[in-house]
A and B are shown apart, each in its own frame.
Chain A
Amino acid sequence: MPDTVSTEGSAQAFAVCGIGLSAGGLGALREFLTHLGAVEGTSFVIVQHQSAADPAHLNVLASFSSFPVVACEQGMQIAPGHVYVAPAQSLVGIEGGAFTVRAARVRGAQLRTVDYFLNSLSARFGRRSIGIVFSGNSADGTQGLISIANAGGFTLAQSHDTAEYSTMPGSAVAMGVVDRVGSPAELAVAFRDHLANLANPKFALRSLAKQELHEICDVVRQATGLDFRHYKESTLFRRVVRRISVLHLSSARDYIDHLQKQPEEARLLTRDLLIGVTAFFRDPDAFETLKQKVLTKLIADNRASIVRIWVAGCGSGQEAYSLAMLAQEVKQACGSRQEVQIFATDLDDRALATARRGIYPANIADEVGTERLERFFERVGRRYRVTKELRQLVVFSPHNLIADPPFSRIDLISCRNLLIYLSAPLQKKLMSVFHYALREGGYLFLGSSEASSGHPELFRVIDARSRIAQRKETVVANASVPRVLGGGQSNWQSTIADDPADIGRIAQRILLDEFAPAYAIAHEDGQIVYLSGKADTFLQPPEGRYVNHIVRMTRGGLRAGLRGAWTKALKTKRTAHFEGLVLHGENGRRRVRITVQPMPALGENDGTYMVVFGDLGAAEAREGASAVPSADSERMVELLEAELLRTREELERAVQDLEAANEELKSSNEELLSMNEELQSANEELETSKEEVETAKRALEETNADLLNLLHSTEIATIFLDESGAIRNFTPAASRLYNLLPGDIGRPLSHITHNFVSAAILPSVQQAVQADGPLEDEVTLDASQTFLRRVTPYRKADGNAAGTVVTFIDISDRKLAERRLASKDAVTRALAECSTLELAATRILAAICEHWDWKVGVLWHADEATDSLSCLQVYQQPTYHAAAFLESCQSATLTFGDDLVSRVWRTGQAAWVPDLLLERPVGQNEAAVRDGLRSAFAFPIVLAGHRLGVFHFLDDRVRPTAAVLFKMSHPIGSQVGQFIERSKAQHALRESEQRYRAVVESQTELVCRFRPEGAILFANEAYVRSQGRSQEQMIGHDFWEFVAAQDRDSVKQMLARLSPVLPEVRIENRVVTKDGERWFLWTNRALEFDADGRCVEVQSTGIDITDRKVAENQRQLLIDELNHRVKNTLAVIQGIAHQTFTKDASPIEARNTFYGRLAALGAAHGLLAQQSWDRIEINALVRNALEASGATNGRCLVGGPPVLLEPRHALALAMGLHELSTNAIKYGALSNANGTIGVSWTTTGETKPKLSLEWRESGGPPVSSPSRRGFGLMMIERALGGEAGCSVQLDFHSTGIVCRIEVALPGTSTSGAADEHA
């Protein structure tokens, strides 16, 4: 315990006083310091909650302090004679003689700056630390004062009647750790006294005499009824020394005096003595064991009676509540409704009060654990209170375990860390008390440093580690109940029924007092412990040395009888009588009967006996001489008695010597007992270690067995070799690889033959040790079995290598899997990377040949059309030549034959021929055998039931069937099948795509896709061609480039009409092509719209309608022309009518004339129409005109060369001829039966060709010149005469009319005219 400040290296020690205060504490501090005045060798550190250590505050303090007042700073050295003020909200501590200051993280009520400082102070200054707590409103400081008290320091607190807020000091006082409680002034006095004491160098209490301790115990016993004599001396010593120190006394003697004068001191000491460290679930493992092994058993049974648990020495209740929690938990876990009652007892009333309140500080959270804290506690401010449920389970009561009668029928006694304070005999005694208190099979739960094992006759150990024992069923006779007779009245309320004062009991007492015979009670050693009222009649202290012995004290005359009865009663433990005794007393001779009665009620073998002296009345003189003893005989008796007395005295001396020796023996015995106990505990420890050893051994055995089973089950061949390479051990699996027999252990492994085909030399121990990890290589047993040989050093427990461990792990499956994987991978890769089966086939064949060691591979391909197999691809290992076979394959076409390949194809099942020589020499089998191939394997390429081909592999060795290849063949076959199907489908797809493309590309319609803003997305071949560009030059270009400028606006408007409602519009517009502008009819279909319904992509299909457009225009022109001509013709007809219907003409004649003229016009038009209004041949014209007029051909001679006339000339000529013929029919040559008409013409002129036509009539009636020029003449004259080069001459010869007409022929006059007007 450090009690000086060592860092300063100074011998002068000083005390440091930590003063904690909060609300209202400043006044108290002022009063304290004022009263204290000047003291030496001390410093004060003031820790406050509220005010800061500001200068003003320091000044106030300085004004009433006789020391300099300083604010604490980090690293500041503590020197005596100062008042240090800790800054607010800071945790101030002491380290190496200097202050440490750091900011407190919590605020308000959680703040525990005082506790923090006092704890630090106590650790540093120990006995020289002083703690004072003044007024305040929290629980801060209590913990700190406890630390100081434990360190041997001095603790003070303000009394509640003087403190403004008494919570802070009150909390400390309630914990019973405060040495002085009082007003600040009183505390100042106490403080000075304490300092004076500390300063006294003489005060160094190192030892107390045993006698003094005993005296103290006696005083305490008298004052409190509690006997601490049996407490361990060291415990007593420590407690007493502390009290002496606190009281500032200088010696044990002073303390005894103080103790005797101040009854309160006895109580304080008692409290100190009874302070036990207690906690919830102290030693949690033990509690857990108790829960599992004891409580579960007690509670799960669900028996009718209440389970009674007694917590002896419960202190402030933590242990009792811990058990209550466990009980509740067990009840809940078992679903039990078992009632449980816990009696918790202690000597200390204050502790019991605390226990009953059940309120504990916040730090119990660690002990209890969150779960239990939530379940069994409720928060009360900053502390926790045990729930009502739990408190109802526990009854607290004061009880002196040593003095008070115990409880009975208890199921479990928990008495932890109490026995350690007691001396061995008392411990032993308590063990029997516990035995008595427990019901049959009840349990005892002791502290970790206590043991029941010293009492094997009473308890059997259930769990040595957790100190749990069970009551043995043995009936022990000497179960004694210690009791301080005449005192120590038990005030246990709940177990002792109230005894109503009944008459019977009063009567008994009266009877006892008034009528009962005199009696004495003595221990079996004869010591009288109790005397009844009238016992003095029978007893008389003997002369000489006082001896407290019942026999010696008995009056003469009775002694012999009593001795006899006493001896008998002691021996038999039964009542012994002795009658016929005569006592010579004041009342004369009286007859006395002595009864010695053992007192079993006080415990069987306590050795307390009652000696009852029965007065049988006055002795009467006996009849006869023998009845009346003579004086001589009396004298003789006295002599004899004197001699007897001497003898007895001698005997007693001897006995005393014996007893002394006995005492010594007893003390040695006690020593032996304590040694025994130590041995016992040592033994227990040994037992425990033995158990541990056994457990370890069992574990080792199990591990060993596990290991063996592991080695057997994994079938990993393992061989253990020593340094020399000799076999240390091996597993059964190893004998498959090496020809090992159990007897081979010890022989070098190199002497044993192995079965490997190939194996490297086994590495030596050195190699194994030097290697970084295990040395591994592969060994092959046969073709199908490969092992991984792993050599590791065999290391002993000390880590040194003592040989090697060789393990063989069968990796055949792994190897196979690797090959499978590799070949499958190769197949997959080949199929993925090759476009045709031919290309892939070579790689697949090569991969399978390589991985599975086939010499030759062939892929047969099925042709569905011919239902036959043909060779698609062959492969042979580079090292092998099977040219003949492969050649035969390539030229072969297999149908359903009997050879392997055909069979596989037919059945769709893979097949294996281990030896081709055993097969029928058919088909490819024969060719193979000729090339030295012996075994073959074939599997089909199958997809969805279709057999598309066969894979065929051959080897030059005879090979047994390998299941793995069969397993593998299916996936490969179907994979290749899928490939074939896929390539077929792809081929078909390509073709169909090409067809489709051809359709699109070959159509003449222009197809393009574009976005309305103009980007072309697609343009078909026709479109591209129309522009004389390439596809690349079109795509991405602006669509509008190709729309004729004049149509762009209208096209835009039309496209803008595209909407989800109207997804298609037709537009006719001109397109700029390489051949110029052309008309197209576009069908525009919107393909996609945006969120606003605007079209974003359009597909247009355009048809060239230029020709149609031209035709339409042509037609329109024709119609216009036709209309023009019709109108013109109508105008001409109008003219004819105008000229025909004159006012002179008769209507009938005019009508007929008009009809005739119309008919002529019509005939001429008909002819013109026949010639498509082109030039008209004159011959036809003339004949036509004559015929239309009704001039018969037979009388008209028509002739001339063929001449072509212009239409207008032809028309005029036709009309003229009509008028001439009409006139001839009416009046001329045709008006009679003989006249004829000759129409002839010639052409003249080279440069200006002319037609000269002559109309000559003859044979008609005589002609007279007409009075009036008729319409016909005018018609001829005007129609032809107006024209250049045309003329009409009409002569009225007497023979008939002659008309000469000249008409300019085309090519001259017309061209001349054209020239003229150009």
Chain B
Amino acid sequence: MSTLEGKRILIVEDEFLVALTASEMLGELGAVVVGPAGTLKEALELARTQDIDLALLDLNLYGQSSMAVADTLDLRRIPVVFATGYERGGSKDAGRLVLGKPYTQEKLAMQLCRALDGRAGRERRDTGAGIS
């Protein structure tokens, strides 16, 4: 399994406390946090421009979907993990790795590592929701 050591991870999260916590957790895991971005505009900018290994996206940014960010990252073949409070993923995030809020550091690391191992992540996408 991959490690997050030195990985550049984009965090998109409108709730600053949550973003802050995630940043700290990832920092403790040795990763480099890109962002966090609180708005869609900011997130899209970062997604287009930054050197990113992995992204943790909140689906809902002040009532706006972050799907556009995910699409952008897909184009760059950057793996994405959605963090969400919704029990069931909508049709949009089908096939994505999902991390249910609130999450522990272990869970965060696990899902992100999975996402890094793209093939494995794609294979297990069906069970992703169940893991949360």
Contact = CB atoms under 8 A, between A and B. Distances in A.
B45 to A, nearest CB: 12
B48 to A, nearest CB: 14
Interface in A1096-1129: 1120, 1123-1128
A1139 B40 CA distance: 25
A214 interface: no
Contacts of A1124: 60, 84-86
A1126 B87 CA distance: 11
Given A1126-B85, A1282-B38, A1135 B100 contact: no
A1317 B86 contact: no
Contact of B87 (A1120, A1128, A1316): A1120
A1135 B21 contact: yes
Contacts of A1313: 39, 41, 62
B87 A1135 contact: no
Contact of A1135 (B18, B40, B64): B18
A1131 interface: yes
Contacts of B103: 1131
Given A1130-B102, A1131-B101, A1134-B102, A1316 B20 contact: no
Given A1123-B85, A1131-B102, A1282 B21 contact: no
Contact of B88 (A1120, A1125, A1135): A1120
Nearest to B68: A1317
A1299 B17 CA distance: 21
Given A1132-B15, A1132-B17, A1139-B20, A1127 B102 contact: yes
A1123 B20 contact: no
Given A1282-B38, A1316-B41, A1131 B84 contact: no
Interface of B: 14-18, 20-21, 24, 38-41, 60, 62, 64, 68, 84-88, 100-103
Interface in A1223-1281: 1275, 1278-1279
Given A1120-B87, A1278-B16, A1138 B102 contact: no
B57 to A, nearest CB: 14
Contacts of A1283: 38-39
Interface of A: 1120, 1123-1128, 1130-1136, 1138-1139, 1208, 1275, 1278-1279, 1282-1284, 1310, 1313-1314, 1316-1317
A843 B58 CA distance: 95
Contacts of B102: 1127, 1130-1131, 1133-1134
B100 A1127 contact: yes
A1138 B85 contact: no
A1317 B41 contact: yes
A1279 B85 contact: no
Contacts of B64: 1314, 1317
Nearest 4 A/B pairs, CB to CB = A1135-B17, A1127-B85, A1124-B85, A1131-B102
Contacts of A1275: 17
Given A1138-B24, A1317-B40, A1131 B16 contact: no
Interface centre among B20, B62, B84, B102 (most CB of A within 10 A): B102
Contacts of A1282: 16, 38-39
A1132 B18 contact: yes
Contacts of B87: 1120, 1123
A1125 B14 CA distance: 13
A1134 B21 contact: yes
A910 B62 CA distance: 101
25 contacts: A1120-B87, A1124-B60, A1127-B86, A1127-B100, A1127-B101, A1128-B15, A1128-B18, A1128-B85, A1130-B101, A1131-B85, A1132-B15, A1132-B17, A1132-B18, A1134-B21, A1135-B18, A1135-B20, A1138-B21, A1138-B24, A1278-B16, A1278-B20, A1283-B38, A1283-B39, A1284-B39, A1314-B64, A1316-B41
Nearest to B85: A1127
Contacts of B85: 1123-1128, 1131
B18 A1208 contact: no
A1150 B20 CA distance: 18
Given A1282-B38, A1313-B62, A1139 B100 contact: no
B86 A1120 contact: yes
Nearest to A1116: B88
Contact of A1136 (B17, B41, B84, B88): B17
A479 to B, nearest CB: 149
A1275 B85 CA distance: 22
Contacts of B101: 1127-1128, 1130-1131
B98 to A, nearest CB: 12
A48 B68 CA distance: 130
A1160 to B, nearest CB: 13
B20 A1131 contact: no
